[in-house]
Amino acid sequence: MKVGILVETASKQIKKTNLGVITAACQEGAHVLYALMFTGAAENHQEILQSHGVNNIVTISAAGADVDRSPELKARALIGAMKALDLDALLGISSSLGRDLLARIAAELDAPLALDCVGVDVAAGTVVKSQFSGKTLARFKLLGTPFICGLRPNVIPPIPYPVIAAIVPFQVAIEGSRRLQVRSLKKAAADEIDLTEAEIIISAGRPIGSAENFKILKDCAKELGAAVGASRAAVDSGFAPHAMQIGQTGKTVSPKLYIACGISGSVQHFAGMKGSKVIVAINTDPEAPIFSKSNYGIQGDLFAVVPALTEALKKQRSSESYP
Amino acid sequence: MQIYVCIKQVPDTAASITLRGPREFDEALKFVMNPFDEFAVEQALRVKEQTGAGEVVVVTVGRESAESVVRTALAMGADRGILVTADIRLLDSLATGRALYRAIAQDGSPDLIFTGKQSVDSEGMQIPYRLAAAFDMPIVNEVVSFLLANKTVSVEREIGSGMREVIDLALPCIIGATKGLNEPRYTRLPEIMKARSKELKKIDINQLGVAPAAGRLELMELFPEPERGRAMMLQGSVPEMILELTRLLTNKEQIL
Ligand SMILES: Cc1cc2nc3c(=O)[nH]c(=O)nc-3n(C[C@H](O)[C@H](O)[C@H](O)COP(=O)(O)OP(=O)(O)OC[C@H]3O[C@@H](n4cnc5c(N)ncnc54)[C@H](O)[C@@H]3O)c2cc1C
Ligand SMILES: Nc1ncnc2c1ncn2[C@@H]1O[C@H](COP(=O)(O)O)[C@@H](O)[C@H]1O
Residues in chain A closer than 8 A to B142 (CB atoms): 96, 100
Q: Which of residues 208-247 of B touch A (CB under 8 A)?
A: 215-225, 227-234, 238-239, 241-243, 245-246
- Ligand 1 within 6 A of CB of A229: no
Render pLDDT for B32-52 as a digit per residue (tens, 0 to 9).
999 999 999 999 999 999 999
Return d(Cα B90, Cα B62) in angstroms, integer: 9
Identify the CA nearest to B225 among candidates A139, A22, A2, A94. A139
Task: Determine the pLDDT at residue B215.
Answer: 75
Q: Does B129 touch chain A (CB under 8 A)?
A: yes
Identify the CA nearest to A228 among candidates A242, A238, A239, A214. A214
Residue B180 has its nearest CB partner, among A193, A242, A296, at A242
Render pLDDT for B69-127 as a digit per residue (tens, 0 to 9).
999 999 999 999 999 999 887 889 999 999 999 999 999 999 999 999 999 999 999 99
Task: Determine the pLDDT at residue B26.
Answer: 92
Tell me the average pLDDT of chain B: 95
Identify the CA nearest to A93 among candidates B140, B92, B159. B159
**Got the DSSP string for chain B?**
-EEEEE--EEE-TTSPP-EETTTEE---S-EEE-HHHHHHHHHHHHHHHHH---EEEEEEEE-GGGHHHHHHHHHHT-SEEEEEE-S-SS--HHHHHHHHHHHHHHH---SEEEEES--TTT----HHHHHHHHHT--EEEEEEEEEEETTEEEEEEEEETTEEEEEEEESSEEEEE-TTS--PPPP-HHHHHHHTTS-EEEEEGGGGT--TT--SEEEEEEEEPPPP---EE--SSHHHHHHHHHHIIIIIS---
Single-letter amino acid code for the residue at B231: A
Q: Which atom of ligand 1 is nearest to the CA of A233?
A: 23
- CA quadruple A270, A273, A277, A281: dihedral, nearest 10: -60
Give which of A180, A253, A256, A290 to mutate to test B binding, by max B Cβ within 10 Å.
A180
Distance in Å, CA A227 to ligand 2 centroid: 30
Residues in chain A closer than 8 A to B235 (CB atoms): none
pLDDT in tens for each of the 323 residues of chain A? 999 999 999 888 999 999 999 999 999 999 999 999 997 788 899 999 999 999 999 999 998 889 999 999 999 999 999 999 999 999 999 999 999 999 999 999 999 999 999 999 999 999 999 999 989 999 999 999 999 999 999 999 999 999 999 999 999 999 889 999 999 999 877 656 889 999 999 999 999 999 999 999 999 999 999 999 999 999 999 999 999 999 999 999 999 999 999 999 999 999 999 999 999 999 999 999 999 999 999 999 999 999 999 999 999 888 765 54
Are A140 and B130 a contacting pair at CB < 8 A?
no
Q: Does B171 touch chain A (CB under 8 A)?
A: no
Render pLDDT for B56-66 as a digit per residue (tens, 0 to 9).
999 999 999 99
Residue A298 has its nearest CB partner, among B16, B169, B241, at B241
pTM: 0.94
- Return the HEC string of chain A: CEEEEECCEECCEECCHHHHHHHHHHCCCCCEEEEEECCCCCHHHHHHHHCCCCCEEEEEEEECCCHHHCHHHHHHHHHHHHHHHCCCEEEEECCHHHHHHHHHHHHHHCCCEEEEEEEEECCCCEEEEEECCCCEEEEEEECCCCEEEEECCCCCCCCCCCCCCEEEEEEEECCCCCCEEEEEEEECCCCCCCHHHCCEEEEECHHHCCCCCHHHHHHHHHHHCCEEEECHHHHHCCCCCHHHEECCCCECCCCCEEEEECCCCCHHHHHHHCCCCEEEEEECCCCCHHHHHCCEEEECCHHHHHHHHHHHHHHHHHHHHCC
Ligand nearest to the CA of B44: 2
Task: Determine the pLDDT at residue B195.
Answer: 96
Ligand nearest to the CA of B39: 2
Are A185 and B234 a contacting pair at CB < 8 A?
no
Q: Which atom of ligand 1 is nearest to the CA of A249?
A: 8
- Ligand 2 within 6 A of CB of B115: yes
Are B225 and A286 a contacting pair at CB < 8 A?
no
Are A243 and B230 a contacting pair at CB < 8 A?
no
- Ligand 1 within 6 A of CB of A145: no
Confidence of residue B12 (pLDDT cuts 50, 70, 90): very high
Are A191 and B256 a contacting pair at CB < 8 A?
no
Are B233 and A200 a contacting pair at CB < 8 A?
no
Give which of B159, B210, B232 to mutate to test A binding, by max A Cβ within 10 Å.
B159
Render pLDDT for B232-254 as a digit per residue (tens, 0 to 9).
999 999 999 999 999 999 999 99
Number of residue pairs across A and B with CB atoms under 8 Å?
Answer: 255
Contacts of A323 (CB under 8 A, 6+ apart): none
Ligand nearest to the CA of A206: 1
- Ligand 2 within 6 A of CB of B122: yes
Give B105→chain A minimum CA distance, Å: 17
Task: Determine the pLDDT at residue A323.
Answer: 46
Task: Determine the pLDDT at residue A190.
Answer: 66
In chain A, the N- to C-terminal Cα span, in Å, equals 50
Are B216 and A97 a contacting pair at CB < 8 A?
no
ipTM of model: 0.95
Residue B233 has its nearest CB partner, among A274, A299, A305, at A299
Are A133 and B120 a contacting pair at CB < 8 A?
yes
